[in-house]
Amino acid sequence: MTPVRPVLLGVLNATPDSFSDGGRYLAPDAAIAHGRRLVAEGADLVDVGGESTRPGADPVPEAEELRRAVPVVAALAAGGIRVSIDTRSAAVAAEALAAGATVVNDVSGGTADPRMLATVAASTADLVLVHSRGAASTPPRYTDVVAEVRAEIEERVAAARAAGIADGRLVVDPGIGFAKGAAENWALLTHLDALRVDGIRLLVGVSRKRFLAALVPDGAPADARDLPTAVLSALLAERGVWGLRVHDVAGTRAALDVASAMGSR
């Protein structure tokens, strides 16, 4: 049986300090044009973020995050594009939802802002709960990374349910690269089935992550990791993930199409 093609979230960093494309899409017009290009390449949603989550990134004042992200969300949504807002701030999430976003992607799993779960519950939006332990640069300390991440995901799902968010609106993400080293990342990817919670959708974001640098020449730029990302994405599709968050939508789409063609033979 051929797996269902995962939903593709195209990454749109409206920030000056992204690890992958720092500053390229900071200007609203450039960001909007790139969002449209991602959809033309096959993205199902455009994931707009106004704050970098790379290791060592400085926090962004709420007003600045709003200034960067919300006009982009509004313009894309007005053009009929499905948009998710990548934020840890409930205020930014609320403004983005009012501007037309339909998904909130919170890399803190709803822990950074105590208002986040209630904000999403009061809307009709979906919520992505990303696993993390503090900052992305936090040294990993796990005895059994799969069991511990599973337990912590379950805790966040329980909190979202308690806030009134139905399972059908929830997505979980194991947080590859967030306070995890290469060994932890590969362990989680190898044991994805152990991270599934009661049929809730599973999103994975490996795109251009640091642990893939070992697979490309030393010193290569972040976009040199697009080929390993595409190959890994095809493998994850075979594992039945609901969604993939990627920078190179066209390359990932091609890899998924090849995997689908092989599976249909």
Query: Residue 76: which CATH number?
Result: 3.20.20.20
Residue 200 within any structural domain of the chain: yes
- The residue to which tokens 């006009």 are assigned: 71
Residue 101 within any structural domain of the chain: yes
Task: Indicate if 245 belongs to the active site.
Answer: yes
Domain count, the chain: 1
pLDDT at site 194 = 96
Residue 137 within any structural domain of the chain: yes
Catalytic residue among 156, 208, 209, 225: 209
Residue 1 within any structural domain of the chain: no
- The overall average pLDDT reported for the chain is 92
Catalytic residue among 68, 180, 245, 253: 245
Task: Indicate if 209 belongs to the active site.
Answer: yes
Residue 2 within any structural domain of the chain: no
Q: Which helix (H) or strand (E) holds 87?
A: none
pLDDT at site 145 = 96
Tokens standing for 75?
A: 């313009």
Long-range CB pairs of 27-31, under 8 A, 24+ apart, other chains included: 28/71, 28/72, 28/75, 31/72
- How far apart (Å, rounded) are the C-alpha atoms in residues 38 and 80? 13
- The residue to which tokens 């993400």 are assigned: 173
Section 248-262 average pLDDT: 94
Confidence of residue 89 (pLDDT cuts 50, 70, 90): very high
Tokens standing for 249?
A: 């939508």
Tokens standing for 7?
A: 């939903």
- How far apart (Å, rounded) are the C-alpha atoms in residues 222 and 117? 33
Q: Domain span at residue 79?
A: 7-263
Q: Is 6 helix (H, G, I), strand (E, B) or coil?
A: coil
pLDDT digits (tens, 9 = 90+) for 20-79: 555 677 789 999 999 999 999 999 999 999 997 766 567 789 999 999 999 999 999 999
Residue 225 within any structural domain of the chain: yes
Section 88-92 average pLDDT: 97
- How far apart (Å, rounded) are the C-alpha atoms in residues 148 and 83? 31
